[in-house]
Structure 1
Amino acid sequence: MQRMVRVDAGTELWVEERGAPDGTPVLLVMGANASGITWPDELVDALGERHRVIRYDHRDTGRSTRAFDVRPYALRDLATDAVRLLDGLGIARAHVVGMSMGGTLVQLLLLDHPDRLLSATVFATSALGAGLADADGTGDADLPGPDPRLLALWQTMGEPRDEAAELDWRVEHWRILNGDGVPFDAAEFRALEERVIAHSGTAVSSTAHALAEQSGLARGAELARVTVPTLVVEAPEDPVNPPPHARHLAAVIGGARLVPVPGMGHALSAAVLPSLVRAIGEHVDAVDAA
Protein backbone atom coordinates (compact mmCIF):
# COMPACT_ATOMS: atom_id res chain seq x y z
CA MET A 1 0.00 0.00 0.00
CA GLN A 2 1.29 3.43 -0.95
CA ARG A 3 0.21 6.80 0.38
CA MET A 4 1.36 10.34 1.11
CA VAL A 5 1.79 11.34 4.76
CA ARG A 6 1.92 15.00 5.82
CA VAL A 7 4.75 15.68 8.29
CA ASP A 8 4.43 19.47 8.46
CA ALA A 9 2.36 22.26 6.92
CA GLY A 10 4.26 22.18 3.64
CA THR A 11 5.77 18.69 3.43
CA GLU A 12 4.36 15.32 2.42
CA LEU A 13 6.34 12.09 2.30
CA TRP A 14 5.69 9.16 0.00
CA VAL A 15 5.32 5.95 2.01
CA GLU A 16 4.95 2.31 1.07
CA GLU A 17 3.90 -0.46 3.46
CA ARG A 18 4.49 -4.12 2.67
CA GLY A 19 4.48 -7.41 4.48
CA ALA A 20 2.43 -8.66 7.43
CA PRO A 21 -0.07 -5.98 8.49
CA ASP A 22 -0.28 -7.42 12.00
CA GLY A 23 3.49 -7.81 12.43
CA THR A 24 5.61 -5.45 14.48
CA PRO A 25 6.52 -2.39 12.36
CA VAL A 26 9.98 -2.06 10.79
CA LEU A 27 10.82 1.45 9.50
CA LEU A 28 13.58 1.60 6.87
CA VAL A 29 15.50 4.92 6.85
CA MET A 30 17.58 5.44 3.71
CA GLY A 31 20.72 7.53 3.20
CA ALA A 32 21.32 11.02 1.82
CA ASN A 33 19.64 12.12 -1.40
CA ALA A 34 18.29 8.58 -1.88
CA SER A 35 14.71 7.49 -2.49
CA GLY A 36 13.17 4.78 -0.34
CA ILE A 37 13.00 2.67 -3.50
CA THR A 38 16.74 2.16 -2.99
CA TRP A 39 15.80 -0.43 -0.34
CA PRO A 40 15.71 -3.63 -2.44
CA ASP A 41 12.37 -5.41 -2.80
CA GLU A 42 14.14 -8.63 -1.76
CA LEU A 43 15.07 -7.12 1.61
CA VAL A 44 11.67 -5.55 2.14
CA ASP A 45 9.79 -8.74 1.29
CA ALA A 46 12.06 -10.97 3.37
CA LEU A 47 11.52 -8.82 6.46
CA GLY A 48 7.85 -8.56 5.51
CA GLU A 49 7.28 -12.28 6.03
CA ARG A 50 6.75 -11.52 9.73
CA HIS A 51 6.73 -7.72 9.95
CA ARG A 52 4.90 -4.62 8.74
CA VAL A 53 7.72 -3.04 6.70
CA ILE A 54 7.69 0.66 5.85
CA ARG A 55 9.98 2.43 3.39
CA TYR A 56 9.62 6.07 2.46
CA ASP A 57 11.11 8.91 0.46
CA HIS A 58 12.89 11.58 2.50
CA ARG A 59 11.81 15.10 1.60
CA ASP A 60 13.54 16.24 -1.62
CA THR A 61 13.76 12.67 -2.92
CA GLY A 62 11.44 10.41 -4.89
CA ARG A 63 7.81 11.50 -4.78
CA SER A 64 8.04 13.46 -1.55
CA THR A 65 7.86 17.25 -1.39
CA ARG A 66 10.85 18.99 -2.97
CA ALA A 67 11.17 22.48 -1.57
CA PHE A 68 14.67 22.82 -0.10
CA ASP A 69 15.43 25.85 -2.27
CA VAL A 70 12.56 27.82 -0.74
CA ARG A 71 12.39 26.17 2.69
CA PRO A 72 15.86 24.91 3.66
CA TYR A 73 16.20 22.64 6.68
CA ALA A 74 18.77 20.84 8.81
CA LEU A 75 19.64 17.16 8.58
CA ARG A 76 18.29 16.67 12.10
CA ASP A 77 14.87 17.72 10.77
CA LEU A 78 14.82 14.50 8.76
CA ALA A 79 14.84 12.57 12.05
CA THR A 80 11.80 14.58 13.14
CA ASP A 81 10.17 13.62 9.83
CA ALA A 82 10.57 9.94 10.77
CA VAL A 83 8.76 10.47 14.08
CA ARG A 84 5.95 12.39 12.42
CA LEU A 85 5.71 9.68 9.80
CA LEU A 86 5.13 7.11 12.55
CA ASP A 87 2.51 9.45 14.00
CA GLY A 88 0.79 9.69 10.63
CA LEU A 89 0.70 5.91 10.31
CA GLY A 90 -0.62 5.44 13.84
CA ILE A 91 2.49 3.57 14.98
CA ALA A 92 3.49 4.01 18.62
CA ARG A 93 6.80 2.10 18.44
CA ALA A 94 8.81 0.54 15.64
CA HIS A 95 12.02 -1.25 14.88
CA VAL A 96 14.13 1.21 12.88
CA VAL A 97 16.85 0.35 10.37
CA GLY A 98 19.14 3.08 9.05
CA MET A 99 21.76 3.01 6.32
CA SER A 100 24.42 5.73 5.83
CA MET A 101 22.79 9.10 6.65
CA GLY A 102 19.82 7.02 7.74
CA GLY A 103 22.09 5.58 10.43
CA THR A 104 22.84 9.11 11.60
CA LEU A 105 19.11 9.82 11.83
CA VAL A 106 18.51 6.60 13.76
CA GLN A 107 21.16 7.66 16.30
CA LEU A 108 19.28 10.94 16.78
CA LEU A 109 16.09 8.94 17.32
CA LEU A 110 17.89 6.80 19.91
CA LEU A 111 18.79 9.95 21.83
CA ASP A 112 15.66 12.05 21.41
CA HIS A 113 12.82 9.55 20.90
CA PRO A 114 13.81 6.23 22.52
CA ASP A 115 10.19 5.70 23.55
CA ARG A 116 9.27 5.31 19.86
CA LEU A 117 11.84 2.58 19.14
CA LEU A 118 11.52 -1.14 19.73
CA SER A 119 15.05 -1.67 18.42
CA ALA A 120 17.63 -0.02 16.17
CA THR A 121 19.88 -1.36 13.43
CA VAL A 122 22.50 0.84 11.76
CA PHE A 123 25.09 0.16 9.10
CA ALA A 124 27.38 1.88 6.59
CA THR A 125 27.40 4.91 8.87
CA SER A 126 29.56 6.75 11.40
CA ALA A 127 28.94 7.67 15.02
CA LEU A 128 27.50 11.08 15.80
CA GLY A 129 30.40 13.50 16.08
CA ALA A 130 32.68 11.32 13.92
CA GLY A 131 33.37 10.94 10.20
CA LEU A 132 30.76 12.61 8.01
CA ALA A 133 28.70 13.29 11.15
CA ASP A 134 31.48 15.54 12.46
CA ALA A 135 30.62 18.59 10.41
CA ASP A 136 32.51 21.09 12.55
CA GLY A 137 35.65 18.95 12.87
CA THR A 138 35.63 18.94 16.67
CA GLY A 139 35.39 15.16 17.11
CA ASP A 140 38.38 13.45 18.65
CA ALA A 141 37.98 10.01 17.05
CA ASP A 142 40.94 9.14 14.83
CA LEU A 143 38.99 7.50 12.00
CA PRO A 144 39.64 7.31 8.24
CA GLY A 145 37.70 9.43 5.77
CA PRO A 146 35.97 8.45 2.52
CA ASP A 147 37.78 7.01 -0.49
CA PRO A 148 39.39 9.90 -2.47
CA ARG A 149 37.65 8.62 -5.62
CA LEU A 150 34.31 9.30 -3.97
CA LEU A 151 35.32 12.75 -2.83
CA ALA A 152 36.28 13.59 -6.41
CA LEU A 153 33.04 12.19 -7.83
CA TRP A 154 30.91 14.03 -5.27
CA GLN A 155 32.31 17.31 -6.57
CA THR A 156 30.33 16.69 -9.77
CA MET A 157 27.12 15.54 -8.07
CA GLY A 158 25.00 18.56 -8.91
CA GLU A 159 26.22 19.16 -12.44
CA PRO A 160 23.53 19.18 -15.15
CA ARG A 161 23.36 15.99 -17.24
CA ASP A 162 20.86 14.39 -19.59
CA GLU A 163 19.21 11.18 -18.42
CA ALA A 164 21.71 8.86 -20.11
CA ALA A 165 24.68 10.69 -18.63
CA GLU A 166 23.00 10.82 -15.23
CA LEU A 167 22.49 7.06 -15.30
CA ASP A 168 26.14 6.54 -16.18
CA TRP A 169 27.17 8.82 -13.27
CA ARG A 170 24.99 6.95 -10.81
CA VAL A 171 26.26 3.54 -11.92
CA GLU A 172 29.86 4.74 -11.52
CA HIS A 173 28.94 6.06 -8.09
CA TRP A 174 27.57 2.66 -7.09
CA ARG A 175 30.65 0.94 -8.49
CA ILE A 176 32.86 2.82 -6.05
CA LEU A 177 30.35 2.52 -3.20
CA ASN A 178 30.12 -1.24 -3.70
CA GLY A 179 33.75 -1.67 -2.65
CA ASP A 180 35.94 -4.57 -3.69
CA GLY A 181 34.60 -7.29 -1.41
CA VAL A 182 31.99 -8.65 -3.80
CA PRO A 183 31.77 -8.40 -7.61
CA PHE A 184 30.02 -5.31 -8.93
CA ASP A 185 27.05 -5.96 -11.24
CA ALA A 186 26.61 -2.78 -13.29
CA ALA A 187 23.35 -4.05 -14.81
CA GLU A 188 21.86 -4.57 -11.34
CA PHE A 189 22.51 -1.00 -10.30
CA ARG A 190 21.54 0.50 -13.65
CA ALA A 191 18.18 -1.26 -13.31
CA LEU A 192 17.88 0.10 -9.75
CA GLU A 193 18.46 3.68 -10.89
CA GLU A 194 16.05 3.27 -13.79
CA ARG A 195 13.40 2.28 -11.22
CA VAL A 196 14.32 5.26 -9.03
CA ILE A 197 14.00 7.65 -11.98
CA ALA A 198 10.67 6.16 -13.03
CA HIS A 199 9.41 6.37 -9.43
CA SER A 200 10.64 9.96 -8.99
CA GLY A 201 9.45 11.19 -12.36
CA THR A 202 12.76 12.96 -12.94
CA ALA A 203 16.40 12.15 -13.62
CA VAL A 204 17.55 15.33 -11.89
CA SER A 205 19.54 14.25 -8.85
CA SER A 206 18.71 15.97 -5.57
CA THR A 207 21.60 17.54 -3.66
CA ALA A 208 19.45 18.96 -0.83
CA HIS A 209 20.85 16.73 1.89
CA ALA A 210 24.41 17.62 0.94
CA LEU A 211 23.48 21.29 1.37
CA ALA A 212 21.36 20.92 4.52
CA GLU A 213 22.60 22.39 7.79
CA GLN A 214 24.56 19.83 9.82
CA SER A 215 24.52 21.42 13.26
CA GLY A 216 23.38 19.37 16.22
CA LEU A 217 25.21 16.17 15.25
CA ALA A 218 28.14 16.40 17.71
CA ARG A 219 26.43 14.20 20.28
CA GLY A 220 28.57 11.07 20.30
CA ALA A 221 29.16 11.18 24.05
CA GLU A 222 25.41 10.91 24.66
CA LEU A 223 25.21 7.52 22.91
CA ALA A 224 26.59 5.77 26.01
CA ARG A 225 23.20 6.20 27.70
CA VAL A 226 21.27 4.35 24.96
CA THR A 227 19.20 1.46 26.33
CA VAL A 228 17.25 0.53 23.17
CA PRO A 229 18.54 -2.81 21.82
CA THR A 230 20.91 -1.77 19.02
CA LEU A 231 22.67 -3.74 16.31
CA VAL A 232 25.61 -2.29 14.38
CA VAL A 233 26.24 -4.14 11.14
CA GLU A 234 29.85 -3.85 10.02
CA ALA A 235 30.43 -3.36 6.29
CA PRO A 236 34.16 -4.12 6.06
CA GLU A 237 34.50 -2.87 2.47
CA ASP A 238 32.62 0.41 3.00
CA PRO A 239 34.54 3.18 1.16
CA VAL A 240 32.58 5.96 2.91
CA ASN A 241 32.94 4.80 6.52
CA PRO A 242 35.75 2.24 6.36
CA PRO A 243 36.89 0.18 9.34
CA PRO A 244 37.07 0.80 12.21
CA HIS A 245 34.01 3.11 11.98
CA ALA A 246 31.52 0.34 12.78
CA ARG A 247 33.55 -0.93 15.73
CA HIS A 248 33.85 2.63 17.05
CA LEU A 249 30.10 3.11 16.75
CA ALA A 250 29.34 -0.19 18.49
CA ALA A 251 31.72 0.79 21.30
CA VAL A 252 30.12 4.18 21.96
CA ILE A 253 26.47 3.04 21.81
CA GLY A 254 25.44 1.62 25.16
CA GLY A 255 25.04 -2.16 24.94
CA ALA A 256 25.26 -2.31 21.14
CA ARG A 257 26.07 -5.59 19.39
CA LEU A 258 28.39 -5.75 16.34
CA VAL A 259 27.81 -8.22 13.49
CA PRO A 260 29.92 -8.19 10.30
CA VAL A 261 28.58 -8.88 6.82
CA PRO A 262 31.64 -10.13 4.90
CA GLY A 263 32.28 -8.34 1.62
CA MET A 264 29.71 -5.62 2.19
CA GLY A 265 30.47 -2.09 1.06
CA HIS A 266 28.20 0.95 0.92
CA ALA A 267 25.71 -0.66 -1.43
CA LEU A 268 22.85 -3.13 -1.09
CA SER A 269 23.98 -5.54 -3.77
CA ALA A 270 22.31 -8.92 -4.27
CA ALA A 271 25.53 -10.59 -3.14
CA VAL A 272 25.28 -9.29 0.43
CA LEU A 273 21.50 -9.20 0.92
CA PRO A 274 21.08 -12.71 2.39
CA SER A 275 23.60 -12.07 5.17
CA LEU A 276 22.27 -8.56 5.83
CA VAL A 277 18.64 -9.70 5.96
CA ARG A 278 19.57 -12.52 8.32
CA ALA A 279 21.39 -10.13 10.68
CA ILE A 280 18.51 -7.64 10.76
CA GLY A 281 15.86 -10.34 11.02
CA GLU A 282 17.55 -12.17 13.87
CA HIS A 283 17.99 -8.92 15.81
CA VAL A 284 14.39 -7.79 15.33
CA ASP A 285 12.96 -11.23 16.07
CA ALA A 286 15.03 -11.58 19.24
CA VAL A 287 13.73 -8.24 20.53
CA ASP A 288 10.14 -9.23 19.69
CA ALA A 289 10.61 -12.57 21.48
CA ALA A 290 11.93 -10.83 24.57
Structure 2
Amino acid sequence: MPQPHVQYVEAAPGVRLWTERRGDPDASVLLLIMGAQASGLGWPEELCDALAARHQVVRYDHRDTGRSTWSYGKEPYRITDLADDVIAVLDGLGIERAHLVGMSLGGMLAQLVLSDDPDRLLSATLIGTNALSTTPLVHADGTTTAVEDLPGIDQRILEEWARPVEDHGVEAELDRRVRHWRLLHGDRIPFDAEYFRALERRIIEHTGRYDSSGAHGQADYSGMDRTEALAATRVPALVIAAGAEPVFPPPHPQHLAQVLGEDAALVEIAGMGHALPRQVLNPLAEAVLAHTAKA
Protein backbone atom coordinates (compact mmCIF):
# COMPACT_ATOMS: atom_id res chain seq x y z
CA MET A 1 0.00 0.00 0.00
CA PRO A 2 1.37 3.50 -0.88
CA GLN A 3 2.61 5.68 1.96
CA PRO A 4 -0.05 7.92 3.54
CA HIS A 5 -0.20 11.47 2.23
CA VAL A 6 -0.04 14.32 4.77
CA GLN A 7 -1.64 17.70 4.11
CA TYR A 8 -2.56 20.70 6.26
CA VAL A 9 -5.90 22.47 5.80
CA GLU A 10 -7.06 25.85 7.05
CA ALA A 11 -10.02 25.44 9.41
CA ALA A 12 -10.27 29.04 10.60
CA PRO A 13 -8.05 32.12 10.61
CA GLY A 14 -4.79 31.05 12.22
CA VAL A 15 -5.93 27.42 12.67
CA ARG A 16 -4.37 24.63 10.60
CA LEU A 17 -5.35 21.00 10.87
CA TRP A 18 -3.03 18.07 10.16
CA THR A 19 -4.63 15.48 7.88
CA GLU A 20 -3.49 12.15 6.50
CA ARG A 21 -4.90 10.14 3.56
CA ARG A 22 -4.27 6.54 2.59
CA GLY A 23 -5.78 4.09 0.12
CA ASP A 24 -7.02 4.38 -3.45
CA PRO A 25 -7.49 8.09 -4.27
CA ASP A 26 -10.35 7.13 -6.60
CA ALA A 27 -12.25 5.23 -3.91
CA SER A 28 -15.01 6.77 -1.81
CA VAL A 29 -13.71 8.70 1.20
CA LEU A 30 -14.06 7.49 4.78
CA LEU A 31 -13.26 10.20 7.34
CA LEU A 32 -12.30 9.13 10.87
CA ILE A 33 -13.12 11.54 13.72
CA MET A 34 -11.45 10.83 17.06
CA GLY A 35 -12.63 11.73 20.57
CA ALA A 36 -11.83 14.55 22.95
CA GLN A 37 -8.15 15.47 23.37
CA ALA A 38 -7.28 12.64 20.97
CA SER A 39 -4.95 12.89 17.99
CA GLY A 40 -5.94 11.23 14.73
CA LEU A 41 -3.25 8.66 15.53
CA GLY A 42 -5.66 7.33 18.14
CA TRP A 43 -7.11 5.36 15.21
CA PRO A 44 -4.81 2.28 15.11
CA GLU A 45 -2.78 1.67 11.97
CA GLU A 46 -4.24 -1.83 11.56
CA LEU A 47 -7.77 -0.42 11.50
CA CYS A 48 -6.88 2.34 9.05
CA ASP A 49 -5.24 -0.17 6.71
CA ALA A 50 -8.22 -2.55 6.91
CA LEU A 51 -10.63 0.25 6.00
CA ALA A 52 -8.29 1.46 3.24
CA ALA A 53 -8.83 -1.85 1.44
CA ARG A 54 -12.05 -0.30 0.09
CA HIS A 55 -11.84 3.40 0.86
CA GLN A 56 -9.60 6.40 0.75
CA VAL A 57 -9.23 6.78 4.52
CA VAL A 58 -8.69 10.20 6.06
CA ARG A 59 -7.83 10.91 9.68
CA TYR A 60 -6.88 14.23 11.21
CA ASP A 61 -5.79 15.95 14.41
CA HIS A 62 -8.40 18.08 16.17
CA ARG A 63 -7.41 21.55 17.26
CA ASP A 64 -5.22 21.38 20.37
CA THR A 65 -4.07 17.86 19.57
CA GLY A 66 -1.22 16.38 17.57
CA ARG A 67 0.29 18.58 14.89
CA SER A 68 -2.75 20.80 14.44
CA THR A 69 -2.82 24.34 15.85
CA TRP A 70 -3.00 24.60 19.65
CA SER A 71 -5.08 27.74 20.03
CA TYR A 72 -7.61 27.38 22.84
CA GLY A 73 -5.52 29.23 25.42
CA LYS A 74 -5.54 32.38 23.26
CA GLU A 75 -8.82 31.94 21.38
CA PRO A 76 -11.38 29.67 23.10
CA TYR A 77 -13.84 27.92 20.81
CA ARG A 78 -17.05 25.93 21.13
CA ILE A 79 -17.41 22.21 20.55
CA THR A 80 -19.67 23.03 17.60
CA ASP A 81 -16.63 24.71 16.03
CA LEU A 82 -14.98 21.28 15.96
CA ALA A 83 -17.91 20.05 13.85
CA ASP A 84 -17.22 22.94 11.47
CA ASP A 85 -13.65 21.61 11.31
CA VAL A 86 -15.00 18.35 9.88
CA ILE A 87 -16.43 20.29 6.94
CA ALA A 88 -13.21 22.29 6.70
CA VAL A 89 -11.26 19.04 6.32
CA LEU A 90 -13.58 17.89 3.53
CA ASP A 91 -13.38 21.26 1.78
CA GLY A 92 -9.63 21.55 2.23
CA LEU A 93 -9.05 18.14 0.69
CA GLY A 94 -11.54 18.72 -2.12
CA ILE A 95 -13.94 16.02 -0.93
CA GLU A 96 -17.61 16.50 -1.83
CA ARG A 97 -19.10 13.65 0.22
CA ALA A 98 -17.72 11.10 2.66
CA HIS A 99 -18.55 8.27 5.01
CA LEU A 100 -17.99 9.48 8.58
CA VAL A 101 -16.85 7.28 11.46
CA GLY A 102 -16.84 9.06 14.81
CA MET A 103 -15.81 7.79 18.24
CA SER A 104 -16.80 9.35 21.57
CA LEU A 105 -16.75 13.14 21.05
CA GLY A 106 -16.11 12.29 17.40
CA GLY A 107 -19.48 10.54 17.38
CA MET A 108 -21.11 13.73 18.64
CA LEU A 109 -19.37 15.77 15.95
CA ALA A 110 -20.55 13.26 13.35
CA GLN A 111 -24.13 13.75 14.59
CA LEU A 112 -23.77 17.52 14.25
CA VAL A 113 -22.57 17.15 10.66
CA LEU A 114 -25.27 14.56 9.96
CA SER A 115 -27.85 17.07 11.20
CA ASP A 116 -26.48 20.30 9.74
CA ASP A 117 -24.75 19.17 6.53
CA PRO A 118 -26.35 15.84 5.53
CA ASP A 119 -25.63 16.46 1.85
CA ARG A 120 -21.91 16.04 2.60
CA LEU A 121 -22.37 12.49 3.94
CA LEU A 122 -22.61 9.07 2.33
CA SER A 123 -23.09 7.35 5.70
CA ALA A 124 -22.31 7.73 9.40
CA THR A 125 -20.94 5.21 11.91
CA LEU A 126 -21.14 6.19 15.58
CA ILE A 127 -19.03 4.53 18.28
CA GLY A 128 -18.96 5.04 22.05
CA THR A 129 -21.14 8.14 22.08
CA ASN A 130 -24.52 9.44 23.20
CA ALA A 131 -27.45 10.84 21.27
CA LEU A 132 -27.68 14.61 20.86
CA SER A 133 -31.40 14.30 21.49
CA THR A 134 -33.94 14.71 24.27
CA THR A 135 -36.13 11.92 22.90
CA PRO A 136 -36.69 9.28 25.61
CA LEU A 137 -35.65 5.65 25.21
CA VAL A 138 -38.60 3.38 24.46
CA HIS A 139 -38.33 -0.15 25.87
CA ALA A 140 -39.78 -3.32 24.35
CA ASP A 141 -42.70 -3.25 26.81
CA GLY A 142 -43.60 0.30 25.80
CA THR A 143 -42.23 1.99 28.90
CA THR A 144 -39.80 4.85 28.52
CA THR A 145 -36.64 6.17 30.17
CA ALA A 146 -35.83 9.87 30.06
CA VAL A 147 -32.42 10.82 28.70
CA GLU A 148 -31.34 12.23 32.06
CA ASP A 149 -32.08 8.83 33.65
CA LEU A 150 -29.85 6.82 31.32
CA PRO A 151 -26.76 5.40 33.07
CA GLY A 152 -23.82 7.75 33.55
CA ILE A 153 -20.06 7.49 33.29
CA ASP A 154 -18.29 4.91 35.46
CA GLN A 155 -17.36 6.59 38.75
CA ARG A 156 -13.76 5.38 38.49
CA ILE A 157 -13.35 7.29 35.24
CA LEU A 158 -14.86 10.43 36.72
CA GLU A 159 -12.39 10.19 39.59
CA GLU A 160 -9.51 9.77 37.13
CA TRP A 161 -10.64 12.81 35.15
CA ALA A 162 -10.82 14.85 38.36
CA ARG A 163 -7.18 14.14 39.25
CA PRO A 164 -4.80 16.99 38.43
CA VAL A 165 -2.42 16.26 35.56
CA GLU A 166 1.10 17.00 36.78
CA ASP A 167 4.32 17.05 34.76
CA HIS A 168 6.68 14.37 36.03
CA GLY A 169 8.27 13.60 32.66
CA VAL A 170 7.28 11.63 29.60
CA GLU A 171 7.40 8.17 31.18
CA ALA A 172 5.14 9.28 34.04
CA GLU A 173 2.78 10.77 31.48
CA LEU A 174 2.73 7.46 29.62
CA ASP A 175 1.93 5.72 32.91
CA ARG A 176 -1.00 8.10 33.40
CA ARG A 177 -2.34 7.53 29.89
CA VAL A 178 -2.09 3.76 30.21
CA ARG A 179 -3.92 3.92 33.55
CA HIS A 180 -6.64 5.94 31.82
CA TRP A 181 -6.90 3.42 28.97
CA ARG A 182 -7.19 0.59 31.48
CA LEU A 183 -10.34 2.22 32.89
CA LEU A 184 -11.78 3.00 29.45
CA HIS A 185 -11.00 -0.48 28.13
CA GLY A 186 -13.60 -2.35 30.15
CA ASP A 187 -13.17 -5.74 31.82
CA ARG A 188 -14.27 -8.24 29.16
CA ILE A 189 -11.08 -8.36 27.09
CA PRO A 190 -7.60 -8.79 28.64
CA PHE A 191 -5.90 -5.41 28.85
CA ASP A 192 -2.59 -5.10 26.98
CA ALA A 193 -0.74 -2.28 28.70
CA GLU A 194 2.22 -2.38 26.29
CA TYR A 195 -0.08 -2.03 23.27
CA PHE A 196 -1.58 1.19 24.64
CA ARG A 197 1.79 2.46 25.85
CA ALA A 198 3.19 2.02 22.34
CA LEU A 199 0.13 3.76 20.88
CA GLU A 200 0.57 6.74 23.19
CA ARG A 201 4.32 6.87 22.61
CA ARG A 202 3.66 7.17 18.85
CA ILE A 203 1.16 9.96 19.53
CA ILE A 204 3.68 11.84 21.68
CA GLU A 205 6.38 11.46 19.02
CA HIS A 206 3.91 12.63 16.36
CA THR A 207 2.84 15.62 18.47
CA GLY A 208 6.31 16.63 19.56
CA ARG A 209 5.14 17.25 23.12
CA TYR A 210 3.58 15.18 25.88
CA ASP A 211 1.33 17.67 27.65
CA SER A 212 -2.40 18.01 27.07
CA SER A 213 -4.14 21.34 26.60
CA GLY A 214 -7.38 20.18 28.24
CA ALA A 215 -9.16 22.38 25.69
CA HIS A 216 -11.96 19.99 24.80
CA GLY A 217 -12.92 19.57 28.43
CA GLN A 218 -13.04 23.35 28.92
CA ALA A 219 -14.84 24.23 25.70
CA ASP A 220 -18.48 25.34 25.56
CA TYR A 221 -20.78 22.37 24.88
CA SER A 222 -23.96 24.43 24.42
CA GLY A 223 -26.02 24.43 21.25
CA MET A 224 -25.56 20.75 20.49
CA ASP A 225 -29.12 19.45 20.74
CA ARG A 226 -30.29 18.07 17.40
CA THR A 227 -33.45 16.20 18.42
CA GLU A 228 -35.55 17.14 15.40
CA ALA A 229 -32.80 16.88 12.79
CA LEU A 230 -31.65 13.43 13.98
CA ALA A 231 -35.21 12.12 13.96
CA ALA A 232 -35.59 13.31 10.35
CA THR A 233 -32.24 12.07 9.03
CA ARG A 234 -32.10 9.91 5.93
CA VAL A 235 -28.34 9.38 6.01
CA PRO A 236 -27.58 5.64 6.45
CA ALA A 237 -26.42 5.26 10.04
CA LEU A 238 -24.69 2.50 11.97
CA VAL A 239 -24.40 2.47 15.76
CA ILE A 240 -21.73 0.28 17.33
CA ALA A 241 -22.84 -1.21 20.64
CA ALA A 242 -20.12 -2.12 23.12
CA GLY A 243 -21.27 -4.22 26.04
CA ALA A 244 -18.30 -3.24 28.22
CA GLU A 245 -18.60 0.48 27.45
CA PRO A 246 -17.93 2.49 30.66
CA VAL A 247 -18.52 6.04 29.37
CA PHE A 248 -21.82 5.66 27.52
CA PRO A 249 -22.90 2.20 28.69
CA PRO A 250 -25.93 0.31 27.41
CA PRO A 251 -28.62 1.25 26.67
CA HIS A 252 -27.02 4.41 25.21
CA PRO A 253 -26.29 2.69 21.85
CA GLN A 254 -29.85 1.37 21.68
CA HIS A 255 -31.16 4.85 22.47
CA LEU A 256 -29.00 6.42 19.76
CA ALA A 257 -30.20 3.88 17.20
CA GLN A 258 -33.81 4.67 18.13
CA VAL A 259 -33.19 8.40 17.80
CA LEU A 260 -31.82 7.86 14.29
CA GLY A 261 -34.95 5.99 13.18
CA GLU A 262 -35.97 2.52 12.19
CA ASP A 263 -33.47 2.35 9.33
CA ALA A 264 -30.46 2.78 11.62
CA ALA A 265 -28.39 -0.39 12.08
CA LEU A 266 -27.06 -1.57 15.44
CA VAL A 267 -24.09 -3.94 15.63
CA GLU A 268 -22.54 -5.20 18.86
CA ILE A 269 -18.78 -5.77 19.10
CA ALA A 270 -18.27 -8.44 21.74
CA GLY A 271 -16.19 -7.36 24.72
CA MET A 272 -15.57 -3.85 23.44
CA GLY A 273 -15.30 -0.93 25.85
CA HIS A 274 -14.38 2.70 25.17
CA ALA A 275 -11.10 1.80 23.49
CA LEU A 276 -9.72 0.15 20.36
CA PRO A 277 -7.61 -2.85 21.42
CA ARG A 278 -6.41 -5.34 18.80
CA GLN A 279 -9.21 -7.79 19.60
CA VAL A 280 -11.94 -5.47 18.32
CA LEU A 281 -10.24 -4.09 15.20
CA ASN A 282 -11.21 -6.85 12.75
CA PRO A 283 -14.89 -7.10 13.77
CA LEU A 284 -15.12 -3.31 13.84
CA ALA A 285 -13.62 -2.97 10.35
CA GLU A 286 -15.97 -5.67 9.06
CA ALA A 287 -19.00 -3.90 10.52
CA VAL A 288 -18.00 -0.53 9.10
CA LEU A 289 -17.19 -1.91 5.65
CA ALA A 290 -20.46 -3.85 5.50
CA HIS A 291 -22.31 -0.64 6.35
CA THR A 292 -20.50 1.55 3.83
CA ALA A 293 -21.02 -1.09 1.12
CA LYS A 294 -24.79 -0.93 1.68
CA ALA A 295 -24.77 2.84 1.76
Name the residue aligned to 1:135: none
1: CA distance between counterparts of 2:216 and 2:124?
A: 22
What percent identity do the matched residue pairs reach?
53
Shift of 1:140: 3.8
2: CA distance between counterparts of 1:169 and 1:129?
A: 33
1:1-290 counterparts in 2 under 5 A?
1-129=5-133, 140-156=147-163, 158-254=165-261, 255-287=263-295
2: CA distance between counterparts of 1:260 and 1:157?
A: 35
Q: C-alpha offsets along residues 7-53 of structure 1, whole Å, 9 cap, x if unaligned?
A: 11110000000111111000000000000001001111011011100
Going from structure 1 to structure 2, the CA distance change for 1:141 and 1:257 (only over 3 Å counts) comes to farther
Q: C-alpha offsets along residues 213-267 of structure 1, whole Å, 9 cap, x if unaligned?
A: 0001222343110100000010111100000000000001122111100100000
TM-score (norm 1): 0.94
Name the residue aligned to 2:138: none
Shift of 1:84: 1.0
Aligned residues: 279
TM-score (norm 2): 0.92
Q: C-alpha offsets along residues 79-104 of structure 1, whole Å, 9 cap, x if unaligned?
A: 00010110010000000000000000
Bigger shift: residues 153-162 or 120-129? 153-162
2:32 counterpart letter in structure 1: L
**Cα RMSD after superposing both structures:** 1.2
Contact 2:185 2:191 in 1 (8 A): yes
Bigger shift: residues 91-100 or 151-160? 151-160
Give 5+ residue unaligned stretches, structure 2: 135-145
SS at 1:96 equivalent: strand
SS at 1:54 equivalent: strand
2: CA distance between counterparts of 1:276 and 1:157?
A: 34
1:17 counterpart letter in structure 2: R
